[in-house]
Chains A and B, each alone.
Chain A
Amino acid sequence: MNELCLLSQLSEGEIGIVNAINVTGSMRRRLQDLGLIRETEIKCLFRNVKGNLGAYNIRDAVIALRNSDTSRIEVIRKKNGA
């Protein structure tokens, strides 16, 4: 079963498929430049000590994003092995 959650809620190693991007303005553009649009597959690689900054694999590049932004991106969490 796949479930809806926020990108910030993915744990290390989990994969999510972008469902909705509720970020606006220049950050939305920036994410689009990086190839983050609806239906993009994103993997959470690791997080920083406090867990409020995550490193994600977006189209083969490793990008660090703050939770304040990733909590506004909805993803469909892929179950491991799925």
Chain B
Amino acid sequence: MGRDNMGLTLSSTGTNIAKKDLFEYNALKQREEILIGLAGNPNVGKSTLFNNLTGMHQHTGNWPGKTISSAIGRIKYGEKQYLLADLPGTYSLLTHSKEEDVARDFICFSGAKKIIVVCDATCLERNLNLCLQIIEMTDNVCVCVNLIDEAERKGIEIDFDKLSVELGVEVVSVIARQKKSAKLLSELSELSVSQKKIQIKYPSVIEECIDVLKDSFIKYNFNFSERWLAVNLLTCREEITEKIKTYYNIDLMQDKQVVTALKMTDKIIERYGQTSESIIDKVARTFVKKAEEISGKTVVKKQNKENTVLDKILTGKITGRILMVGLLLVVFWLTIKGANLPSELLSKTFIAGEKYIDIFLDKLNVPEIFKNMLICGVYRVLTWVISVMLPPMAIFFPLFTLLEDSGYLPRIAFNMDNFFRKCNSCGKQALTISMGFGCNAAGVTGTRIIDSDRERLISILTNSFVPCNGRFPMMISVISIFFATSMAISDVISALIMTALICFGIFMTFIVSKILSETWLKGESSSFALELPPFRKPQIGKVIIRSVFDRTLFVLLRAMAVAAPAGLIIWLMVNIKVDSVSLFSLCADFLDPFASFIGLDGVILIAFILGFPANEIVVPLTIMGYTCSGELQQVSDMETLKYIFTSNGWTAVTAICFLVFTLMHWPCSTTCITIYKETKSKKWTFLGFVIPTLCGMILCFLINTVYKILTAV
């Protein structure tokens, strides 16, 4: 494979990322605020705590890998200002994946005044492993044990005073979901340096090596301990020297004292009959054993309540599949059912509002042409975006967030792993697919949770096969317009169509993943470990508020920001005439032959092209394109909408092709940019653009052709 292909390897992008972070860290250091990092295992509630402390609304979810790059927030406590960084979860400082790399670099090299290690009280022992590693590295540590309410319910008791004594650092217990973090804040303000922190004792071979090595770096005055650096030079020499070169501009391999000491350590290791592999094992074992010992002294499990009943149902052979499809169906049905009425009400209100704007603009003596431009171009597209997109979004997002919060998503990944294994891709791809439902750009960034570069590329390239926030309501609206009838079960039919489309999108993900892993990205499925978090009761009130205000409004505002200029462009295209034919019809006519080839028409294709920055506006733009050139002025209900479509030549096949093309066409501009950022390769960005587009075009062509042949016979 060429160099291009290895766009994801550490050698070509690792230093880029590091350099970028280095600038960021330097910028952070120059501020007067005190920099604090929130570190910890994945899914221990770091983001919840972060939101709680900063009052920010970083998106949280009950699954590992939700936070993929660090967020930074400000807190003021007493006289001091703090900068708090919410880091991606990491299991250890010896990292394996891209997201963990971000956390590790921050912990080790950012120069933070304090690292707060957030631990999950329900599995403290595992969490202590990372805790001990960080304590070994720096003095500025404070341990924050979260989820103590959950632990209590599970009959787990923790002796925090004893834990504090054992570790030799401050220990705070919190319930991050509740607003009880004041205690933590006061602890934070002290920022005392712990004097008597625990000293990890390694097997004698490693201790001997540390003794030989540690004096040679005292002169550098690093932020981290000499013992930690010595051990890292034994376990991951190349990586650590590379990092120190980047962050400190010091090349340890040029330091004669260090090189001589390293040669001595090689001899020591040889004398003990060890290899570098066995040294790594020994280091890892030391931490795990110490964590086990401390946990044994401080944690009491009163009863062993192990509940796998729900898991067995959710992952069962028949029940698991029925529930998976059933949940999708219910979510879509609720969305479609609930969105109809508010959609109509909204559009009626906006139409009524149009008159007033008209009168208002008249009073201001706005020339007729500008008035027309504002009302027919900008106002109508804007209001269409709101009335068509807002209701489904406001219902779908909270429902989806509830699923995210409950911890169901990793179970989906568990159920679907078999398919991914057959496609030679990673089981965690199910999680990035789920993120894609929210936003494909987020899904693409989310692929950092996948360790293998090959598998990561596969999931980047196939991520846009699931419809995102923007495309999803667009599909719902077309389905409701076109397939909803006055029949009572029409909502159920719409939900079934939607579910079938989603399943088809996921099916295409498998097919394309398989093809990719047989061609450009050849390889075997690699190992992976997926943590299945305990089920948590979602905080319903919070979820609704958060998803409506943060997600829905964010997406809506973005759509509106794009819709206004796009509406203007369409209006101009309709009204600028060349030889008495409008520019719009010229373009539409030009695209028409190709578009009809794939079952669409020129207007739809123009809408899709203009929708590149935000897919949300495609349906409103299509309606705009039809109504602006025709004599129909106002649209109030679904029946009129359907009439607009049918009078412009739409058939059931057009609607199906439209839906398939919505599911599979070029990803939006944000996603394309994100693919480029993540892969640093024009080739993969291009493929990320072309693959779904080609799939969509071919499928639409097939659907259209088959239909034509069938009707011709």
Contact = CB atoms under 8 A, between A and B. Distances in A.
A33 B257 CA distance: 32
Contact of A63 (B288, B312, B421, B529): B529
Contacts of B315: 46, 48-49, 55
A79 interface: no
B532 to A, nearest CB: 4
Interface in A48-82: 48-50, 52-53, 55, 57-66, 68-69
Contacts of A61: 123, 126, 531
A64 B261 CA distance: 42
Given A46-B312, A60-B125, A63-B529, A30 B96 contact: yes
Interface string A25-50: 01111111111011010000110111
Interface residues of A, number: 34
A11 B164 CA distance: 39
A62 B320 contact: no
B285 A45 contact: no
A49 B422 CA distance: 14
B288 A53 contact: no
A5 interface: no
Given A27-B527, A61-B126, A66-B528, A32 B281 contact: yes
Nearest to B277: A24
B94 interface: yes
A60 B129 CA distance: 13
A53 to B, nearest CB: 5
B421 A66 contact: yes
Given A30-B96, A45-B308, A59-B126, A35 B288 contact: yes
B125 A32 contact: no
Contacts of A66: 417, 421, 427, 525, 527-528
Contacts of B504: none
A65 B413 CA distance: 12
Contacts of B306: 45, 57
Contact of B285 (A30, A32, A60): A32
B530 A63 contact: yes
Contacts of A48: 315, 414-415, 417-418
A21 B311 CA distance: 27
Interface in B384-419: 410, 413-415, 417-418
Given A46-B315, A59-B125, A60-B125, A68 B427 contact: no
Contacts of A33: 91-92, 94, 129-130, 284
Nearest to A62: B532
A68 B284 contact: no
B91 to A, nearest CB: 4
A53 B427 contact: yes
Interface string B517-545: 00000000111111111100000000000
A65 B529 contact: yes
Contacts of B700: none
A57 B312 CA distance: 14
B236 to A, nearest CB: 10
A35 B291 contact: yes
Contact of B530 (A37, A46, A59, A64): A64
A42 B291 CA distance: 17
B317 interface: yes
Interface string B452-468: 00000000000000000
Contacts of A38: 285
B320 to A, nearest CB: 7
A23 B527 contact: yes
23 contacts: A30-B451, A33-B129, A33-B130, A34-B126, A37-B285, A38-B285, A46-B308, A46-B311, A49-B315, A49-B418, A55-B311, A55-B315, A55-B414, A59-B123, A61-B126, A62-B534, A64-B410, A64-B417, A65-B529, A66-B417, A66-B421, A66-B525, A69-B529
Interface of B: 91-92, 94, 96, 122-126, 129-130, 280-281, 284-285, 288-289, 291-292, 306, 308, 311-312, 315-317, 320, 410, 413-415, 417-418, 421, 427, 451, 525-534
**Pairs of residues from A and B, 5 with the lowest C-beta to C-beta distance, nearest first:** A32-B284, A60-B123, A33-B91, A27-B527, A33-B92
Interface of A: 23, 26-35, 37-38, 40, 45-46, 48-50, 52-53, 55, 57-66, 68-69
